[in-house]
Amino acid sequence: MISREESIRKLAGSTVFLTGATGLIGSLMVRALLYYNVHANKGEKIKVIGFIRSLEKAKDVFQDAVSDPNLLLVEGNLAEPVKIDGAIDYIVHTASATTSKFFVDNPVETIEISYQGTKNILELAKEKKCKGMVYLSSMEMYGQTNPKLEKVEEEDLGYIDVLNVRSSYSEGKRISECLCAAYADEYHVPVRIARLAQTFGAGVQKSDNRVYAQFARSAVKGEDIVLHTAGKSYGNYCYTADVIRAIALLLEKGDVGQAYNVCNEETTRTIAEMAQMVAEEFGKGRSKVVFDIPQDAKTYGYAPDVKMHLSAEKLCKLGWKPQYGLKEMYRRMIADLHMTETED
């Protein structure tokens, strides 16, 4: 198994450009690269360029690291062509709309962020003649796959209702993947696609309001975990550090223009099953799972129920292997956030 240090060591002496540098994956990737520099002794350092929307937010996210001479923060808008002086060896494109409510309320912007932002970054990779690029896609691009499939591999695409505005996210990911394949074929941009399972663990910010964070907060406070759906949809998950190792690996390994599922196959279960596990393991006997399903669930922007068990075999053949299971993911996230019963 290839460790995170081994994967990142191969980037020594290079310049890595990251979009969405203040987001969960982007910020953790920045920290992993800078951490390598601290422990690289006399070895060559990695220069990190973080592309951000808000310098103020970046200062809050990175705090002391803002003064690191190997970190350059660049404020800009992905809807416009990206201009960066100097060489760029590797690109990690993590920027994306992230919340279901945003997808529903702003479907046009969701599609534009996916397509135009990805096109501008691919143009940058083409201009700089990068050695490697990783585009972060999502398991949502699969849509509703055949429920009879034991494992969903990279070619097993399913149905997406293109007239449902919630599909702006999943269809945005699909067209962006197609764009990556097109740039790889026509312009020889060495881009690989990482199709992420839902990712969480140490590194999640306190302001994160996605379902895994909500479950954890409720259980730690001894409150009921409230589901606004029947919880029948299957979730696939991966720990933050495992995803960082996968991205670092894909910057140099794997077939150009191809996609790789990034997931821990052992974590797959329904939303209701995960909620029950969190209540039992972290609720101290005071939490239970309750259902409060609104009449118009579409208002909340929830994705349709999907039965899907992702396969990670293709990525594992490159030398990657997930290290953390679902209980450990929650334990580490809760410890990292210092969640307490009295937390505001």
**Is position 261 within any domain?**
yes
For residue 138, the domain's CATH number is 3.40.50.720
Q: Supply the pLDDT for residue 275.
A: 97
Backbone φ, ψ for residue 328 (5° rounding):
-70, -35
| Residue type at 196 in one-letter notation | L
Q: Supply the pLDDT for residue 304.
A: 67
**Is position 96 within any domain?**
yes
Q: Choose among 253, 250, 214, 256: nearest CA to 231.
A: 214
Q: What is the pTM assigned to this prediction?
A: 0.92
Q: How many domains does the chain have?
A: 1
| CA atoms of 21 and 26, how far apart (whole Å) | 4
Assess whether pLDDT exceeds 60 at residue 341. no
Backbone φ, ψ for residue 47 (5° rounding):
-90, 130
What whole-number percentage of the chain has pLDDT above 90?
83
**Is position 85 within any domain?**
yes
**Is position 342 within any domain?**
no
For the chain, state the CA radius of gyration: 20
Backbone φ, ψ for residue 277 (5° rounding):
-60, -45
pLDDT tens sequence across 292-305: 988 765 555 566 67
pLDDT tens sequence across 8-18: 989 999 999 99
| CA atoms of 267 and 139, how far apart (whole Å) | 14
What one-character DSSP code corresponds to residue 310?
B
**Is position 213 within any domain?**
no
Domain boundaries, position 15: 4-201+237-266+307-323
Decide if 226 contacts 278 (C-beta within 8 A): no
Mean pLDDT computed over 62-88: 95
**Is position 39 within any domain?**
yes
188 pLDDT tier (thresholds 50, 70, 90)? very high
| Residue type at 189 in one-letter notation | V
pLDDT tens sequence across 107-119: 999 999 999 999 9
**Is position 301 within any domain?**
no
**Is position 207 within any domain?**
no
